[in-house]
Amino acid sequence: MRVTEENVVQQLIDKNENAISFMIQQYGGLLTAIIKRYVNKQQQDYEECLDDVLLSVWNNIHQFDPTKNTFKQWIAAVAKYKAIDYGRRQISLQKQQFSVPGFTESNLLSQKSREEILVDELLQQLPPGERRIFEKYYLEGNTSSEIAHEYNERESWVYNKLSRGRKKLKGFLFQNNEA
């Protein structure tokens, strides 16, 4: 079924992946403007936030109430609050980085080397296919549409792979922190 303004909410409820593509085409500019207002201008940060906005809309479409506002207004609000959360997280991470005892510019290089090793170890927890998608998106800076084109898949497939991979990595991190 073709996704339109009138049926996009129902298509999301029915879990039609074409609804995600429609949202990107129809509301991508609006979501971009909102997210870039609150998130660093780096492409990776913006795209990760956009992924989370789309995933949040996908998973929480049942919370949309057409009597309170339009779908466009609702996704704009979702984008705003997700972007604010990302902005806060970025500020918090920057503060933590420079408040670490013993952190100096002279050990910055060794700090980066340790981080690269940790990232490599963490990515080893993913299956090779998902690992490659993560590397392309997060380390090489490819866009989700470029990755989808390379794998001859839909962009929503890339979002699903990234989302599932993040969940696996979070589970691995929490499991190791508790041990």
Task: Kindly report whether the global pTM for this prediction surpasses the value 0.85.
Answer: no
For the record, the structure tokens of 41 come out as 């201008």
Q: Per residue of the chain (179 residues), give pLDDT as tens.
A: 788 888 899 999 999 999 999 999 999 899 988 888 888 766 677 788 889 999 999 999 999 999 988 999 999 999 998 888 887 777 776 666 555 555 554 554 455 556 666 677 777 888 888 888 888 887 777 888 889 999 999 989 988 988 888 888 888 777 755 55
**15: Cβ–Cβ under 8 A, 6 or more apart, which residues?**
58
**DSSP notation for 119-152:** HHHHHTTS-HHHHHHHIIIIIS---HHHHHHHHT
Burial 129-166 (b: 16+ CB within 10 A, else e): ebbbbbebbbeeebebeebbeeeeeebbbbbbbbbebb
Q: Identify the structural domains of the chain with CATH numbers, from first to last.
A: 1-99 (1.10.1740.10), 105-179 (1.10.10.10)
